[in-house]
Amino acid sequence: MTKGAPAQVNPRWRWLGILVPGLIIAPIGVGLGITLAPLFLTPKAFQALFAWPGLGPATWVSLWSGVLATSLSLAITLVLVAVGWGTRPFRLLTRFLSPLLSIPHAATALGLAFLVAPSGWVARLLSPWATGWTLPPDLMILNDPLAMTLTLGLVLKEIPFLLLMTLAALPQSDASRRLMVTQSLGAGRVQGFCVAVLPAIYRQIRLPVYAVLVYSMTTVDMAMILGPTRPPTLSVQIVVWTAQGTADHRLLATSAALWQLGVVVLALIGWHLAERAGGLWLKSHALRGVHRGTMARWAEGGLAGLASALGVALVAIMSLTFLGLALWSITGQWTFPAALPHSFSLRVWMSGAPSLAEHSAHTLILGLVSAGLSLAMAVIWLALGAGQGRHHRWVGPLIYIPLLVPQVAFLPGLQVFALGLGWAGNMALVTGVHVLFVFPYVFLSFSPSYLAWDDRIARVAASLGATPLRILLTLRLPMLLRPMLTAFAVGFAVSVAQYLPTLLMSGGRVETLTTEAVALSSGGNRRLIGAYALLQMGLPALAFGLALFIPALIFSNRKGMEERHA
């Protein structure tokens, strides 16, 4: 069957096809330029940076935690897929993916902090009977100088993302047939996966992996909550300097941003070389033939056990963080080392209601508008032919640019730009910058369904006299309502999670659940933090719920709309 031509577009609208990616790329370019420009004027800036004694440790801890978190997330994801793919427990795990993915970074970090802190739930459950502690121990579990807790937090947050990307890549790599062939040759499941499927998949998840690496090395909100403090990670230090606001501090922040950009680029190059080496090793491994010995079988068995343990641990830790936050928000009194609160109270919810409501309203407006704009942009870009035909190859890399350039490298510059134009603190500006980060996820979520839509429907409709625009508005988009709403919910969740863009672009004047939760994290009010983090989780969950419920309601009498287009 010959695949139909993409819908003809009136040449008058072609320029829109450039405008959409331009809207995303231009601000990043402007921000990067302004952030880095002073350096070329005053090379002395670096002297101050190099004189800072924290530079070495801060650089090292950013690099170390970022690379370790990315390696661990990728390894765990691949083990889960290699062992579990196609099995029933794995399908169960994939059901948790969207909710796991929609939990904001800050909420994950806060929940984890409540769990592992010296006075956290884990210590309480083990005390005093196992540990003998009657007071919280003087251990540096949170904010540990090696950033192990930060790494754990990052891993928890990144596995769902990588898992989702891998699952999306699997059907396109003909994975099940490849696996059947290798298994018929006597290779175990994992061995077959590594040799026959992994290279094909990895090519498709490479950009997401790079995005994870960049994010892990440069996160600000998670590092503020979980990361080391003296010195903090590079990006946290940059934000601190930026916030101090004097010209000297700004210059210091700028030079540190360029320094960090360099470290990120080096890490990406290093990662790429490691990829190559890994690929060569896999190839030579494959050439030596399959291993059928006892050792190989034990290894397979061990990995299978490990995978189940990891899957259960992932879901269990995330559930515990959620429970912990919820419990603290309704706690009256809860002294160490009791495992459960002595009394419950809604005091925080009542007394905090006005500010909780105000911050929720800001969060909602930002999320709804930026997700709506992003979805509209995605639809327009796709309708103009993005991802189809000749320009296909450029779409992927373009989309990933906002996720591959560290936020701290261009947001301070963009802030200066906005200040210069007198736009600072403007809600519209904050929304626009949210779109930079929301749009890629909305596009990635929606485009597979858009492109998979049965083209013959368009041909039949055209033969009935329908114009391309009518086909788009009355057939294609209504039929894609479910994936559209899912993409909207994904975008909404991404917007809710934004910390640095909101903080910098609003100059602290637009406070959201996320900025407030991070601001509270340094204080000790666990009840209030619990309430904020819970709302942070609740809003995206509500959006996902509606994305399931609305199409089910609208199409309740349309059997042909079930699942097929989900």
Task: Point out which residues bind other proteins (CB under 8 A).
Answer: 1-5, 8, 389, 454, 456-457, 459-468, 474-475, 478-479, 481, 555, 557-561, 564
- Distance in Å, CB of 547 to other proteins, minimum: 17
Angle of helix 198-218 relative to helix 247-287, nearest 10 degrees, comes to 160
- CA 537 – CA 556 distance, rounded (Å): 29
Shorter beta-carbon distance to other proteins: residue 94 or 388: 388
- CA 487 – CA 372 distance, rounded (Å): 10
- Distance in Å, CB of 384 to other proteins, minimum: 15
Shorter beta-carbon distance to other proteins: residue 275 or 455: 455
- CA 382 – CA 362 distance, rounded (Å): 30
Do residues 267 and 213 touch, judged by C-beta distance below 8 A?
A: yes
- Distance in Å, CB of 475 to other proteins, minimum: 6
Shorter beta-carbon distance to other proteins: residue 333 or 474: 474
- No. of helices (H) and no. of strands (E), the chain: 27, 2
| Structure letter (DSSP) for residue 453 | S
Question: How does DSSP assign 13-72, residue by residue?
Answer: GHHHHHHHHHHHHHHHHHHHHHHHHHHHH-TTHHHHHHH-TTHHHHHHHHHHHHHHHHHH
- Distance in Å, CB of 269 to other proteins, minimum: 37
- Distance in Å, CB of 18 to other proteins, minimum: 19
- Distance in Å, CB of 382 to other proteins, minimum: 17
Shorter beta-carbon distance to other proteins: residue 95 or 393: 393
CA neighbor of 90 nearest in space, from 304, 270, 382, 328: 304
Shorter beta-carbon distance to other proteins: residue 276 or 393: 393
Shorter beta-carbon distance to other proteins: residue 180 or 566: 566
Largest CA distance in the chain: 80
Shorter beta-carbon distance to other proteins: residue 31 or 551: 551
- CA 278 – CA 282 distance, rounded (Å): 6
Shorter beta-carbon distance to other proteins: residue 342 or 456: 456
Amino acid residing at 390: R
Distances from the Cα of 477 to the Cα of 238, 446, 560, angstroms? 43, 11, 15
Cβ within 8 Å of residue 104, ≥6 positions away: 493, 496, 497, 514, 536, 537, 540
Shorter beta-carbon distance to other proteins: residue 292 or 459: 459
My answer on whether omega of the bond before 128 falls inside 30° of 0, hence cis, is: yes
- Distance in Å, CB of 172 to other proteins, minimum: 20
- Distance in Å, CB of 11 to other proteins, minimum: 13
- Distance in Å, CB of 380 to other proteins, minimum: 20
Q: What's CA 253's distance to the chain center, in Å?
A: 25
Shorter beta-carbon distance to other proteins: residue 87 or 474: 474
344 pairs with which residues across the strands? 331
- Distance in Å, CB of 397 to other proteins, minimum: 23
Structure tokens at 526: 């666990």
